[in-house]
Amino acid sequence: MASSVNSPEDCINLALVRIGYKNRVGSIWEGSMAAKKSLDIYAQTRDAVLREGDWQFAEQIVAATLTGNAAPFPWTYEYTYPANCLKIRNIFSSTYTTDTNNPTPTLWTVADSAAAVKVIWSKATGATLVYTAQVTNPANWEPGFVEALVAALGRRLAAVLVSPDVAKAEADDETAMFKNAESEVG
């Protein structure tokens, strides 16, 4: 299901409504106080909310690419870390695709290579990566993600645009919302 927002400004304006801020932003670049504060936190907040959950729309499954460098002991392979990757969810070895009932876990870690580049070290041969990608187009987001992002933006903007009390109330409302959702799910 497609999101009901089409731009960063739509998300920001939803957050401003949520915290009771009376003005709206027409552009994140317009220079108003709300736009400046939003510009400071928008991308970082979006990426943090993407990392927090396993959002289906942000899932990428790709064949891992070897770097050509030797991995340090105890690892066997060094793979490149995808440029748009925010979080590695899992790594499967090539045997998983032929026997999906094999529960043997694939051990891996994210590290900095000798060239100070982020890499993945693993013992998996022919690895397949499952990761959360950085999805920046709001038209591709799920409604649940939009709600989580708006809530996170609201918490961060409330303290600087409205008052610390509103920020605390936003956090309390969100905690109650998540507890209610957890009880409904089971």
- Identify whether the C-beta of residue 15 lies closer than 8 Å to the C-beta of residue 154: yes
Structure tokens at 177: 């919302």
Same domain, yes or no: 66 and 129: yes
- 186: pLDDT confidence band, cut at 50, 70 and 90? very low
Q: Is the residue at 92 inside a domain?
A: yes
Across residues 22-32, what is the average pLDDT?
93
Same domain, yes or no: 63 and 50: no
Same domain, yes or no: 164 and 105: no
pLDDT at 176: 58
Same domain, yes or no: 128 and 169: no
Same domain, yes or no: 28 and 84: no
Same domain, yes or no: 120 and 66: yes
Structure tokens at 39: 């510009």
Same domain, yes or no: 73 and 128: yes
Same domain, yes or no: 79 and 122: yes
For all residues of the chain together, what is the average pLDDT? 87
Q: Is the residue at 19 inside a domain?
A: yes
Q: Is the residue at 30 inside a domain?
A: yes
Same domain, yes or no: 156 and 94: no
Structure tokens at 1: 């299901």
Q: Is the residue at 67 inside a domain?
A: yes
Give the pTM.
0.81
Q: Is the residue at 186 inside a domain?
A: no
DSSP reduced 3-state for 24: coil
Same domain, yes or no: 22 and 79: no
Angle at the Cα of 19 (from 176 to 55), degrees rounded to 5? 55
Note down the domain range covering 124. 59-133
Distance CA 39, CA 172 (A): 25
Distance CA 185, CA 44 (A): 29
| Model confidence pLDDT, tens digit, residues 146-176 | 999 999 999 999 988 886 665 556 556 656 5
Same domain, yes or no: 165 and 101: no
- Identify whether the C-beta of residue 154 lies closer than 8 Å to the C-beta of residue 18: yes
Q: Please state the domain count of the chain.
A: 2
The amino acid at 103 = P
Same domain, yes or no: 31 and 75: no
DSSP reduced 3-state for 108: strand
